[in-house]
Amino acid sequence: MSKQADQQHQAGFWARRLTSAYSVGVAGLVGLGATWYRLRGPSASNGLRQRFGDDLPPRPAAGPIWIHASSMGEVRVAGLFAHELRQHGAALIASAMTETGFNLIPQVFPEGTAPFRMPFDIPGPIQRTLAHFKPAALVLIETEWWPNLLLHSAEAGVPIFVVNGRLSERSFARYRLGRPYWRQVLRAVELFYMRSEPDALRVRRLGVDAGRTRVIGAIKAVDAGNNGNGHPIPPWVEKSGGPLWIAGCTRPGEEDLVLEAWAIARQSVPDLRLWIAPRHPDRFAPVARLLEQRGHVVYRWSEHEADAKPPTGGTVVLIDRLGILASLYRYADVSFIGGSLQEYGGHSPLEPALAGAPVTFGPHMDEQRDAADLLLANGLAREVWGPASLAIALLEFLDSPSAVGERQHRIKRLLETLTRNRAEVARDLIARIRSPRN
């Protein structure tokens, strides 16, 4: 029996029976979701067929590596890692859970990667996808742990790896409730490349053997050549005056706090500009209304992409276009990471930091604690607790132009570390895939 088949055997028994019950529940939800997809029209129905493991793109070569990520942020990480794998001659296929992530794959993955939508996590679609592509390995980015995907991939003899793995304390609390189950299911994974020692410790506390975890550090970096996912950057972006503050990935309740901090900071820096990018597209219109109710002129990005003239002073630019935020951070003098002043767990602070924008975030960075601590340790970020401390941090960053050179040096060092981590994981993973398996 091969090592992978042995792992699958260990992951069986009652864990597989619980997975069968889970599959029945998922299948019911899929039935409801399928009706919704079909009502959206032919293009949505085409995507639905892929979710069922049908109408998949041709297999690019024998034994491709399947990389799966959740949404846009994880797809960007996956794309960078995919370029490392391609340097080793690997053929690639890539899936995403969300439609926005799927649409981003061609932008950030190497040419020739076959993109498709993640199949529903029920046996039929997973098995059809595996049979179609016959992958040499499955690479899961961060915490994409789907029971049927894990168990059926292992059953098919596909080695599974978790890359850039993270497990926050909040997520761990949920997984811990089903620890006996996850202990068996996660035996399907050959190796967890974790971002930090606390992440690795939490995985081990779920029952994963210490020998199957490696702390490699973060692998995420930014692509300096990113052009906003195909959307042009208006000429007025670089011609606008005054320092720029970008508040990215804001969540409900945070826009008011950001506006309060902006008002305080403008008492010292009257020409400080503010751009806000809500985390989810369904909040674009509500945030626009909120800004107008607060007496601000709103300049919606989607309506002014072709404009030649910049918005007037005091106008709030609402970034209501998906996929461009990462490419805009390089224009910012300071950034704020949303989901951190309210208890949402935060979002990745690495993109703005590596683009050269000093980072501010609140105390609720549970989902990104390792990245937050990394930036704090390198002097590239400040933690704040409310509008007043946020305004102080803004002004301190703006009042320290002499620190720009030192900050660029620290960014270069950090970028080298992330790139080295990514290359090391790719080399090790390729070696494991290509090694003889008994």
Which of these ranges, 157-166, 237-246, 333-342, has the smallest mean pLDDT? Answer: 237-246
Q: Would you state the pLDDT for residue 407?
A: 86
Task: Between 96 and 16, name the one with better pLDDT.
Answer: 96
Q: Would you state the pLDDT for residue 220?
A: 74
Task: Between 30 and 145, name the one with better pLDDT.
Answer: 145
Average pLDDT of the segment spanning 51-64: 91
| Residue 308 pLDDT exceeds 70 | yes
Q: Would you state the pLDDT for residue 221?
A: 62
Average pLDDT, rounded, for the chain: 89
Closest CA to 95 of 61, 124, 129: 129
Q: Would you state the pLDDT for residue 47?
A: 81
Task: Using the Cα atoms of residue 413, residue 415, residue 416 and residue 420 in order, give the sign of their dihedral.
Answer: positive
**pLDDT tens-digit readout, 221-274:** 654 444 444 566 787 887 678 899 999 999 999 999 999 999 999 999 999 999
Distances (CA, A) of 303 to 238, 279, 307, 319, 326: 18, 19, 9, 10, 19
Q: Would you state the pLDDT for residue 15?
A: 80
Q: Would you state the pLDDT for residue 35?
A: 67
Report the predicted TM-score, pTM, of the whole model to 2 decimal places: 0.87
Rg value, the chain, Cα: 23
Q: Would you state the pLDDT for residue 8?
A: 45
| Residue 323 pLDDT exceeds 90 | no
- Tell me the pLDDT band of 347, cut-offs 50, 70 and 90: very high
**pLDDT tens-digit readout, 3-33:** 554 544 455 667 878 998 999 888 888 876 6
Q: Would you state the pLDDT for residue 225?
A: 41
Closest CA to 164 of 208, 112, 109, 221: 221
Structural contact between residues 135 and 154, judged by C-beta atoms closer than 8 angstroms: no
Which of these ranges, 60-64, 96-100, 234-238, 327-331, has the smallest mean pLDDT? Answer: 234-238
Distance CA 362, CA 343 (A): 9
Enter the tokens of residue 56: 């998949």
Distance CA 200, CA 220 (A): 17
Q: Would you state the pLDDT for residue 401?
A: 64
Average pLDDT of the segment spanning 209-218: 94
- Tell me the pLDDT band of 36, cut-offs 50, 70 and 90: low
**pLDDT tens-digit readout, 110-133:** 999 999 999 999 999 999 999 999
**pLDDT tens-digit readout, 363-389:** 999 999 989 999 999 999 999 999 999
Q: Would you state the pLDDT for residue 13?
A: 64
Distance CA 65, CA 114 (A): 10
| Residue 312 pLDDT exceeds 80 | no
**pLDDT tens-digit readout, 275-285:** 999 999 999 99
